[in-house]
């Protein structure tokens, strides 16, 4: 049979174990934060945004023009076709780039027809505060890639 002192953990052992576990978890969480890459996230989100606008153009059979509103905001506007002179802003398709990133140039736009085909291929650069860049591409067939 066991006596009362032979069973379980002492309070001191339990506190030491919990303290070490807390320190190890803190170090692990600190290192996981380094895996966050705002530039890569921004490029991936921009590519997803282009796909979302293309899907909206197809589902509504309307033309959608994508253009930057500023270094940090991209908007989508709709019309009957790509040669329209009047465009209506679609506020549900406004995209804000993540903090710490911005568009290299705001002098571009592209129209996606109601069939999902862009009128031209598009490439734009996204930069971070350190000066690193990533490129987002929209191809003529509607595919999107970032690198």
Mean pLDDT for all residues in the chain: 91
pLDDT at 37: 85
Place of tokens 């209506």: 88
pLDDT the model gives residue 8? 74
Q: Domains, the chain, ranges and CATH?
A: 38-146 (3.55.40.10)
Confidence band for 24, pLDDT divided at 50, 70 and 90: confident
Tokens 């999107």 correspond to what residue? Answer: 144
Q: Is the pLDDT of residue 130 over 70?
A: yes
Q: What pLDDT, in 10s, does the model give residues 31-83?
A: 666 567 899 999 999 999 999 999 999 999 999 999 999 999 999 999 999 99
Q: 2 pLDDT exceeds 60?
A: no
- Over residues 88-128, the pLDDT tens digits come to 999 999 999 999 999 999 999 999 999 999 999 999 999 99
Pairwise CA distance, residues 103 & 29, whole Å: 30
């Amino acid at each position: 049979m066991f006596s009362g002192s032979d069973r379980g953990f002492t309070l001191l052992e339990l506190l030491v174990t919990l303290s070490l576990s807390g320190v190890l978890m803190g170090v692990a969480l600190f290192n996981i934060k380094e895996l966050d890459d705002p530039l890569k996230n921004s490029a991936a989100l921009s590519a997803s945004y282009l796909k979302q606008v293309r899907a909206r153009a197809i589902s509504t059979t309307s033309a959608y023009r994508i253009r930057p509103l500023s270094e940090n905001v991209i908007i989508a506007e709709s019309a009957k076709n790509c040669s329209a002179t009047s465009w209506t802003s679609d506020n549900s398709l406004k995209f804000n780039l993540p903090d710490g990133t911005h568009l290299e140039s705001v002098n571009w736009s592209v129209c996606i027809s109601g069939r999902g085909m862009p009128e031209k291929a598009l490439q734009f650069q996204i930069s971070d505060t350190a000066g690193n860049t990533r490129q987002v591409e929209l191809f003529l067939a509607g595919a999107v890639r970032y690198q």
